[in-house]
Structure 1
């Protein structure tokens, strides 16, 4: 066991006037299975880059281990997988590597195939197996689930649970619960570490948030009550002081000493109340700083004039000589929330693209309702660039509504001024989801909408879909999301 010490870490990107980290200090045990969570754009990937020494910063990061990053940058994907493994870890022992592959249920024949011919899931497993063979290495695992189907996520989660000495960035709640024993969270104003899995952390956070909200409400009432009492007492004190210069009703002189003493006591009481009021205000100011806002979203889906929106009748899809999927039949009816499930490569995305009118070779029958309007969210976000105003204008959506939705998804106004090319993966995905929510459509078609999206935003989107019950066909591998949202499952 050794420690990674972070002391007074401060960092901002060149040309930016907002700090990603400011005077942050904490310790990480290198034996931990550490889950890393926080809203998009808070600096998770940036912190992993700082650990690797990729940016200059002020403060200190010290460790007795080397850091290795997943995903490994494979320069020659045309090489056989064995050669790629040797590039990742030149001193690997073949039988040990094959043992790791067997734990991940990967056949060792992949070693003799070009790396680029492996599926995304197989590439993920090969890189993890090779990196975990390294000794005295602390592994930085950045969003491995984005290329894993649901079954592969369970398998890789169990594999990680057998290991130790890593930071895992993921927004998949079930995957984190399966994999980690500590949580590192980047909050609005600080960084915290807690023992336990994601569900333990979330329960503690909700408990703390509820306590702070109740305490804030109590102190707000106290401040108001004390403010009124202080004002009342101060007024009494001034009124009593005035009587020092008057006479009693009987005509006798007033006891100025007694009245002065009484006025002084009232003034002292007033000051005491003001001091208590100030203390309550200071206590109140320390609350609510890390409560995440997750305002409800809205959707205005167009009503469709028929019950059935679309039908696939014995559809098979082809790419060249390869068949992507075979003999698929289902209908999409008004109000359906359908999840397409299946292993990577089973044709899920191809079906979505076919529905959206892409030029795909297929057999069977596809029947779309007349004048059916579809809003599509693709997996791909790398094409996003330019500013949000131009993007809204180009896609003929209401700019004010578009930006209001992004604000609710935790975009700061500062983000509105940036080029979308500089956004994090999660922020780019939120742009596509906000665009889709602005479009007037009868059917939502979303392809892995939650890739890179932070947990709180996932919950907002879940609540939206449950509240407004739009007709939606989607592909997603987040088990909790699918279980909450889907009214039908189509398994390929």
Structure 2
């Protein structure tokens, strides 16, 4: 065991972060720390490194072990270049190399015992230098920088001039090269493109030390970790396996708890009904039996109904009208900034109902393309055409559609003046803004909060063509899953940019990869893209003159089977929606029948208390038989309702 947290406690005022929390990390183990936004994940990492004091408990790092930490935000003010900053992680090795070279020069002028002594020092340093892979040090630095998305042209850039995301990547590279015994990484995939994330996955899987990661990237966690530590309502739990295993086990536990709760509630309700009935007879024997049952009922410890750990967003996206079949046609579009060509002569079409993901390395022009279609900036050449009755709903990752000086409430009411105060508050409540929170000013909000306001506006737009730029940024895993469900049930058309591979896999029916200044078209989700990437990129984006329309056509031709799979997937989505409507109808009918039978049993109980009934053996038997049949049917309906509700 390399790291252990025993009974740790932390609170900020009345807000409890963790209570009596315990977990451990084994040597070389790769583990994740998960929880909703605000659960306290970053705080726990800071407690481990000693940056945040504990209120109780202890953190134990194995003797002689080193620890490295990557925070979400970095502030590099060293005055170094990117290469110099990362190279400083290997300063001791370069100092050793300098000492070796110095001794080599000294040896020419030494003799006797002095020569022998320096030779011994030289051999010792040479062995250590070789053992620490000193000869490959420079190539290792270059490999890490390139793996994290930097080109050799970037190496001489001053760190002071970098963006926040670039500084985080530099700090990550520097940390990886220090090779501590345990890495603590807080959202390491933020600011990385898909290729860099894939490179980091491989690096961490093969890393010789332990890794403890905070991340909302489910695809990344599935690939890297073998243990999940969850912080939920200040409680810590450990699950073996990757994120998929954790999610499945957590759902199984919740299902079992819900079933146990519902069974207990049914039993309590049944016993209370019997007690009430016995008391209603108003006879000494029946009253004693009722009292006996009440004592039994009092001994039952009521179970709490299991609830989800967060106030979830809950919303649906539905267009106000259906667009024409041709939603977007892009023809010969080109764009460059100064001498940097982003894309050249690209052409593609998007049809109604398609869910299209745009992917590519950082800086290739994905966001620029969305801004051109939204007429935020102009293309250098070419044009695009929107189809008949197409209305756009735009989600901007930088949230330029929001007004910093407005409150959340005004942001909605000004854009949708026909909504009443109650309607606005209900909408914002669906996105976790309640009470006085709706009067917060936009400029005071976190990235995640701004994202939720933008999603609220998107829902109200009733657009039939959604254009989304990194919609999952700053969302926790639960919120991502809710967004995925909303998009999969959306009957309109979607074009979006995302680095979230799990999200792409769940929501995309087609992928456009921006590579070598053009598009390669994949008719399928992210798994299909991975399968076909090498062959299609080589065939259709090996040169800069490839016409994107030909790429798209060739891509369709080369992937005729996946195209039919895509149609099948769309058909399956329609069938799934139909099954969902049927489930809801059956659930409603079941609830109505349960209510009807329970009302009838109440009537029967009342009838049985009447003298003319309970003194009439035939009538009494008839009602009792009916009630028994009703109870049997209710048991069936309870089970059916539970199945339908789940």
Contact 2:73 2:168 in 1 (8 A): no
**2:178 counterpart SS class:** coil
Give runs of aligned pairs for residues 79-98 of structure 1, distance below 5 A. Answer: 79-85=80-86, 91=92, 95-96=136-137, 98=139
Check if 1:276 corresponds to 2:276. Answer: no
Check if 1:149 corresponds to 2:193. Answer: yes
Deviation per CA, 1:307-360: give whole Å up to 9, x if none.
323321011111122211122111233222211122222211110000111233
Q: Which has the higher helix share?
A: 2
Equivalent residue for 1:254?
Answer: none
Deviates further, 317-326 or 73-82:
73-82
Check if 1:209 corresponds to 2:281. Answer: no
Q: Distance in 2 between matches of 1:188 and 1:87?
A: 41
Q: Distance in 1 between matches of 2:77 and 2:248?
A: 45
Q: Distance in 2 between matches of 1:401 and 1:150?
A: 40
Structure 1: which 5+ residue stretches go unaligned? 241-261
Q: Distance in 2 between matches of 1:212 and 1:97?
A: 55
Rate the CA distance shift 1:386–1:365 in 2: closer, same or farther, 3 A.
closer
Deviation per CA, 1:15-34: give whole Å up to 9, x if none.
xx651415342123263322
Cα RMSD after superposing both structures:
3.4
Q: Which has the larger radius of gyration?
A: 2
Deviates further, 287-296 or 357-366:
287-296
Equivalent residue for 1:113?
Answer: 156
RCO comparison, higher one (Cα < 8 Å, 6+): 1
Contact 2:18 2:231 in 1 (8 A): no
Contact 2:227 2:240 in 1 (8 A): yes
Q: Distance in 2 between matches of 1:420 and 1:143?
A: 24
Q: CA deviation at 1:401?
A: 5.1
Contact 2:324 2:390 in 1 (8 A): no
Equivalent residue for 2:214?
Answer: 169
Structure 2: which 5+ residue stretches go unaligned? 95-133, 515-646
**2:398 counterpart SS class:** coil
Deviation per CA, 1:117-139: give whole Å up to 9, x if none.
88998766543332133365643
Equivalent residue for 1:368?
Answer: 386
Rate the CA distance shift 1:26–1:296 in 2: closer, same or farther, 3 A.
same
**1:146 counterpart SS class:** coil
Equivalent residue for 1:347?
Answer: 365
Q: Distance in 1 between matches of 2:52 and 2:395?
A: 34
Give runs of aligned pairs for residues 460-479 of structure 1, distance below 5 A. Answer: 460-479=482-501
Deviation per CA, 1:227-260: give whole Å up to 9, x if none.
1223344455x522xxxxxxxxxxxxxxxxxxxx
Equivalent residue for 1:23?
Answer: 19
Equivalent residue for 1:257?
Answer: none
Rate the CA distance shift 1:276–1:406 in 2: closer, same or farther, 3 A.
farther
Give runs of aligned pairs for residues 11-50 of structure 1, distance below 5 A. Answer: 11-12=11-12, 18-29=14-25, 31=27, 32-50=29-47
Deviation per CA, 1:401-447: give whole Å up to 9, x if none.
56545544555657546555554433332222222111243321100
Check if 1:183 corresponds to 2:228. Answer: yes
TM-score norm. by structure 2 comes to 0.63
**2:303 counterpart SS class:** helix
Q: CA deviation at 1:210?
A: 1.2
**1:147 counterpart SS class:** coil
Contact 2:70 2:172 in 1 (8 A): no
Q: Distance in 1 between matches of 2:32 and 2:436?
A: 28
Q: Distance in 1 between matches of 2:68 and 2:406?
A: 34
Contact 1:72 1:88 in 2 (8 A): no
Equivalent residue for 1:230?
Answer: 275
**2:22 counterpart SS class:** strand
Equivalent residue for 1:196?
Answer: 241
Q: How many residues align?
A: 461
Contact 1:140 1:166 in 2 (8 A): yes
Equivalent residue for 1:102?
Answer: 143
Q: CA deviation at 1:88?
A: 6.1
- Give 1:484's match in structure 2, choosing from 506, 514, 534: 506
TM-score norm. by structure 1 comes to 0.81
Contact 1:140 1:168 in 2 (8 A): yes
**1:358 counterpart SS class:** coil
Check if 1:338 corresponds to 2:346. Answer: no
